[in-house]
């Protein structure tokens, strides 16, 4: 399908694809096996300017939008979702600064982020605050010219590796959802340490750690937006990033389908390549159709966000939901098409299937996405839209 | 520091097809790439520029479509591209090619010229050293490591069959480089955008001040009689089995044929 990408978008796609094929595919198995953080690949992405894609030109970026980012994430995800998670989590952590930072904050942080010199992480989730973000217990108390942070963030992607953290903490417990605020915390701030690296089912090269704040004192000017805006910062951030998770689902599905087709053309049973059997053909036809439908949705939503649309919550949730459920189905079916071989580590599809699972869980489980979509539909119905 | 990198656009295939009548390469229908050794030359120049500052110009001689190779080098970070092109250059052998490249380089103020050790289509490894001779500057071939660059000189390691030579030279100098030297970088997005806009300077024989009889066919003493793919040697036999069995079988054959 031709999605009428412009010259720059095609250039971004081709470069991301070249990096995925030349730099990621040869090492993905080792990165997965050894749970090795993909610093080498991050350096290549930095040198290629891909960290600056969605950052405005005045801050050293390329001034592109969600579609360009989605295209790059899709290409990297075809090769390895662990790598694309590391890359996309950097964008997730950057959105609070991009969307709500003051000019000083943007000048201070965005050029380094655009150059890939400093990696970013986003800290929202806690042990008792997952789907229910209202359960956050980390606090930030104003004390003179500083905020003092206390509490523990859990399962933070890029934790320990990133140098810049955007953190949601409670500034006024009495105000409920309006009592949260967002902050920028730099690595090596006294009182800020990391828990152990988590062992995971998939995306094993990406780093997932606890962030521990014990009387961690940060400058008052590190608050993003104002006190009480924390949940809005988090929700707007997720609205922007979810389409990127959809792009990951799209990429991993396409990567798995490509492997399945290659295998099915070579594997001979009953005297014929298995791709000549209708049972396999129908599976492949369904996989390809679902991928194309997801791509159409993800690209459309990304374009809608880039058009400056105000309310993108519902459609970005739809893109994430549809493309990642699809990613799980297609990777599972790729393993099925390849049978015993698909289940073995000699082929990449078992890893793709393990990696795809997280996409239905992180940045809001797909059950939460359905809640979000339904709530928006109810709201629209009430307004008579 | 102004560095000129000489590159060649070559067919992207190990199986080069030859026009039996003219003895030249058939380029039609074969995708083109930058000669892989030249990618290491480009990387070396960009690396030196990062260390010492300066400018990198890529130079090639070829048909108009060779411009794509220059743009690719610019997307990696080279500053300028110069294309020697025109009918007068057609049919050049290595002597005429080196003369043409050297004539163009003389027009630029250069501190260093870097070439790949050879091209994967012709495989002569002659053009780099010949360019240095025409420029009357020293050359160091098969560079596998650059140890030091000062304002007036360079220290490098030259790959040899057994080990390496430590070679020191004054500048300007011409280097030809091997794969061991570095890992060529991928293009960057900003580089690709620059490459799209870049103006490629196109020069013909008159612009480089070269007499026509020294260019192209007329400047090429090489006479190609015939180019052919050698017939595969016959009479091979494969020895199979465990390593121990293979050794035994091999020994038997060697003894039978009175080789040992």
- Write the DSSP string, A58-100: GGTS----HHHHHHHHHHHHHH-HHHHHHHHHHHHHHHHHHHH
* B52 Cβ neighbours under 8 A, 6+ residues apart: B1, B149
pLDDT at B94 over 80: yes
Residue B243 lies in a domain: no
Which residue, of A57, A87, A118, is where some domain finishes? A118
Strand A208-219 and strand A146-157: the pairing is antiparallel
A292 annotated active-site: no
What is the per-residue pLDDT for B260?
A: 80
State whether A90 and A205 are in the same domain: no
Cis bond before residue B172 (omega within 30° of 0): yes
Residue A1 lies in a domain: no
**Residue B6 and residue B135 in contact, taking contact as beta carbons nearer than 8 Å:** no
pLDDT at A385: 66
pLDDT for the residue numbered B29:
75
CA-based end-to-end distance of chain A = 32
- pLDDT-based confidence at residue B17 (cuts at 50, 70, 90): confident
Among the candidates A172, A200, A228, a domain finishes at A228
Q: CB under 8 Å, gap of 24 or more: what pairs does B31-36 form?
A: B32/B65, B32/B66, B32/B68, B32/B69, B33/B9, B33/B69, B34/B7, B34/B8, B34/B9, B34/B10, B34/B69, B34/B72, B34/B73, B35/B7, B35/B8, B35/B9, B35/B10, B35/B116, B35/B119, B35/B120, B35/B121, B36/B116, B36/B120, B36/B179
Residue span of the structural domain in which B186 resides: 2-219
Q: Determine, yes or no, domain membership for B251.
A: no
pLDDT digits (tens, 9 = 90+) for A113-156: 999 999 999 999 999 998 888 889 999 999 999 999 999 999 99
Residue B233 pLDDT: 78
Separation CA A107–CA A130 (nearest Å): 32
| Buried/exposed code over A170-192 (b: 16+ C-beta within 10 A; e: otherwise) | bbbeeeeeebbbbbbbebebeeb
Q: How far apart are alpha carbons A193 and A210 in whole angstroms?
A: 8
Smallest CA–CA distance, residue B189 to chain A, in Å, is 6
Q: Is B193 on the interface with A (CB under 8 A)?
A: yes
pLDDT at position B26 is 75
Q: What pLDDT is recorded for position B229?
A: 75
What pLDDT, on a 0 to 100 scale, did the predictor assign at position A50?
A: 97
Output the domain CATH number for residue A195: 2.40.110.10
SS (H, E, C) A208-242: EEEEEEEEEEEEHHHEECCCCCHHHHHHHHHHHHH
Is B52 part of any domain? yes
The answer to whether B59 and B7 are in contact (CB under 8 A) is: yes
Testing the interface with B: which of A19, A48, A64 to mutate, by most B Cβ within 10 A?
A48
Residues A108 and A132 grouped into a single domain: no
Residue B137 belongs to some domain of the structure: yes
Any idea what the CATH number is for the domain that residue A28 is in?
A: 1.10.540.10
- Given a cut of 70, whether residue B15 has pLDDT beyond it is no
Query: In this complex, do B193 and A8 lie within 8 Å of one another by their Cβ atoms?
Result: yes
Q: How many domains does chain A have?
A: 3
Question: In sequence order, which ranges of chain A are alpha helices (DSSP H)?
Answer: 7-19, 28-34, 39-47, 66-79, 81-100, 103-114, 230-266, 278-306, 313-343, 349-359, 366-382
pLDDT of residue B122: 81
Q: Inter-chain contact B188–A48, Cβ cutoff 8 Å?
A: yes
- What is the tens place of the pLDDT at every residue in B144-154? 999 999 888 99
- The answer to whether B33 touches B60, Cβ cutoff 8 Å, is no
Q: Are B58 and B78 a contacting pair, CB within 8 Å?
A: yes
For the four alpha carbons of B28, B31, B34 and B36, in that order, the dihedral sign comes to: negative
The whole-number pLDDT of residue B238 equals: 85
Q: How many Å apart are CA B81 and CA B174, to the nearest integer? A: 18
Residue A353 belongs to a domain: yes
Task: Determine the length of chain B.
Answer: 260
Answer yes or no: are the C-beta atoms of B11 and B112 closer than 8 Å: no
User: Which chain B residue lies closest to A20 (C-alpha atoms)?
Assistant: B186
**Which B-chain residues 124-153 have CB contacts (< 8 A) with chain A?**
none
Handedness of CA A182, A185, A191, A197 (dihedral sign): positive
Q: Considering only CB atoms, which chain B residues are within 8 Å of A27?
A: none
Claim to verify: residue A223 and residue A235 sit in the same structural domain: no
Q: E strands along B99-251, which residues? A: 112-116, 139-149, 153-159, 164-170, 173-177, 201-203
Domain annotation covers residue B114:
yes
Asked if residue A363 lies in contact with residue A124, where contact means CB atoms within 8 angstroms, the answer is no
Which stretches of chain A drop beneath a pLDDT of 50? none
The CATH number linked to B158 is 3.40.50.620
In angstroms, the CA A241 to CA A102 distance is 20
According to the model, what pLDDT value does residue A267 have? 97
pLDDT in tens, B19-50: 777 767 776 777 889 999 999 999 999 999 99
Does B115 map to a domain? yes
* Average pLDDT estimate for B167-187: 96
Same domain, A268 and A377: yes
- Number of separate domains in chain B: 1
Whether A235 and A274 share a structural domain:
yes
Question: What confidence tens digit (pLDDT) does each residue in A14-42 have?
Answer: 999 999 999 999 999 999 999 999 999 99
Q: How would residue B14 be classed by pLDDT, with cut points 50, 70 and 90?
A: low
What distance in Å separates the CA atoms of residue B11 and residue B31, rounded to the nearest whole number? 6
pLDDT of residue B16: 66
Choice between A260 and B15, residue whose per-residue pLDDT is larger: A260
Instruction: Tell whether A223 and A257 lie within a shared domain.
Output: no
Q: Give the pLDDT score at B97.
A: 95
CATH number of the domain encompassing residue A356: 1.20.140.10
Report d(CA A4, CA A133) in Å as an integer.
Answer: 38
**CA–CA gap between residue B143 and residue B115 (Å, rounded):** 10
Same domain (yes/no): A170, A278: no
Among A176, A194, A228, the domain-final residue is A228
Interface test mutation site (partner B, options A49, A50, A111, max chain B beta carbons within 10 A): A49
Q: Over pLDDT 90: what percentage of chain A?
A: 96
Choice among A88-92, B163-167, B241-245 with the minimum mean pLDDT: B241-245
State residue A368's pLDDT score: 97
Owner of token pair 């000669």: B35
Say yes or no for a CB contact (<8 Å) between A47 and B188: yes
Looking at the fold, whether A281 and A375 belong to one and the same domain comes out as: yes
How many beta-carbon pairs below 8 A join chains A and B? 31
Secondary structure element (H or E) that encloses residue B135, with its range: helix B127-135
Show residues of chain B in contact with A40, CB under 8 Å: none
Distance between CA A121 and CA A96 in Å, rounded?
A: 11
- Residue B249: inside a domain: no
**Is B238 a domain residue?**
no
Task: Show residues of chain B in contact with A52, CB under 8 Å.
Answer: 189
Q: Do A378 and A239 share a domain, yes or no?
A: yes
Domain check: are A252 and A372 in the same one?
yes
Question: Which residue segment(s) compose the domain that A329 sits in?
Answer: 231-382
Task: Catalytic residue, from A68, A290, A363, A380: name it.
Answer: A363
pLDDT band at B109 (very low <50, low <70, confident <90, very high): confident
Across the interface, whether the CB atoms of B185 and A15 are under 8 A apart is answered no
Q: Are residues A254 and A215 in the same domain?
A: no
Tokens matching residue A152: 């523990």
- For residue B50, what pLDDT is reported? 94
CB B3 within 8 A of CB B54: yes
Nearest to B128 by CA among B84, B171, B162, B176: B176
A2 within some domain? no
A107 in the same domain as A140: no
In a domain, A54, yes or no: yes
Structure tokens at A148: 């003092």
Domain membership flag for residue A206 = yes
Contact at CB, B186 and A19, closer than 8 angstroms: yes
């Amino acid at each position: 399908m031709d999605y009428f990408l412009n010259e720059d978008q095609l250039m971004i796609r081709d470069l991301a694809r070249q990096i995925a094929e030349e730099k990621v595919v040869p090492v993905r198995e080792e990165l997965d096996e050894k749970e090795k953080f993909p610093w080498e690949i991050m350096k290549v992405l930095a040198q290629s300017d891909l960290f600056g894609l969605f950052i405005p030109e005045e801050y050293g970026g390329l001034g592109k939008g969600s579609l360009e980012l989605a295209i790059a994430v899709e290409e990297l995800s075809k090769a390895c979702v662990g790598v694309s998670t590391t890359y996309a989590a950097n964008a997730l952590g950057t959105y609070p600064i991009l969307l709500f930072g003051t000019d000083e904050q943007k000048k201070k942080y965005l050029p380094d982020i655009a150059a890939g010199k400093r990696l970013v992480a986003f800290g929202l989730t806690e042990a008792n605050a997952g789907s229910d973000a209202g359960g956050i217990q980390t606090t930030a108390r104003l004390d003179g010219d500083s905020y003092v942070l206390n509490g523990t963030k859990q399962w933070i992607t890029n934790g320990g590796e990133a140098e810049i953290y955007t953190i949601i903490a409670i500034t006024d417990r009495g105000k409920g959802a309006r009592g949260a605020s967002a902050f920028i915390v730099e690595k090596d701030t006294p009182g800020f340490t990391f828990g152990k690296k988590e062992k995971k089912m998939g995306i094993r090269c990406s780093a997932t750690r606890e962030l521990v704040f014990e009387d961690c004192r940060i400058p008052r000017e590190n608050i993003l937006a104002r006190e009480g805006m924390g949940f809005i910062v988090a929700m707007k951030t997720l609205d922007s990033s979810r389409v990127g998770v959809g792009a990951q689902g799209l990429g991993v599905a396409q990567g798995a389908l490509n492997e399945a087709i290659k295998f099915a053309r070579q594997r001979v049973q009953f005297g014929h390549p298995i791709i000549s059997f209708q049972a396999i053909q129908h599976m492949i036809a369904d996989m390809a159709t679902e991928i194309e439908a997801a791509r159409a949705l993800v690209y459309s939503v990304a374009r809608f966000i880039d058009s400056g649309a105000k309310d993108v919550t519902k459609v970005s949730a739809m893109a994430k939901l549809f493309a990642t459920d699809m990613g799980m189905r297609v990777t599972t079916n790729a393993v099925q098409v390849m049978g015993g071989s698909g289940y073995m580590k000699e082929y990449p599809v078992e890893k793709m299937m393990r990696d795809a699972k997280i996409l239905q869980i992180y940045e809001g489980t797909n059950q939460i996405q359905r809640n979000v979509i339904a709530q928006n539909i109810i709201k629209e119905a009430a307004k008579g839209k | 520091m102004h560095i000129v990198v000489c590159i060649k656009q070559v067919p992207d295939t190990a199986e080069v097809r030859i026009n039996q009548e003219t003895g030249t390469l058939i380029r039609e229908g074969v995708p083109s790439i930058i000669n892989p050794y030249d990618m290491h030359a480009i990387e070396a120049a960009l690396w030196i520029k990062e260390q010492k500052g300066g400018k990198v110009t890529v130079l090639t001689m070829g048909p108009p479509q060779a411009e794509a190779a220059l743009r690719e080098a610019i997307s990696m970070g080279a500053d300028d591209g110069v294309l020697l092109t025109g009918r007068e250059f057609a049919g050049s052998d290595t002597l005429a090619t080196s003369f043409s490249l050297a004539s163009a380089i003389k027009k630029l103020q250069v501190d260093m010229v870097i070439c790949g050790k050879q091209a994967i289509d012709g495989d002569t490894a002659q053009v780099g050293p010949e360019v240095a001779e025409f420029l009357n500057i020293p050359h160091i071939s098969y560079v596998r490591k650059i140890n030091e660059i000062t304002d007036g000189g360079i220290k490098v390691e030259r790959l040899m069959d057994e080990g390496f030579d430590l070679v020191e030279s004054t500048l300007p100098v011409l280097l030809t480089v091997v794969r061991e030297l570095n890992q060529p970088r991928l293009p960057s997005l900003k580089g690709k955008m620059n490459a799209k806009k870049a103006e490629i300077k196109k020069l013909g024989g008159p612009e480089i001040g070269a007499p026509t009889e020294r260019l192209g066919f007329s400047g090429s003493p090489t006479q190609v009689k015939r180019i052919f793919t050698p017939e595969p040697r016959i009479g091979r036999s494969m020895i199979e089995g465990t390593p121990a069995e293979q050794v035994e079988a091999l020994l038997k054959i060697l003894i039978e044929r009175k080789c040992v």
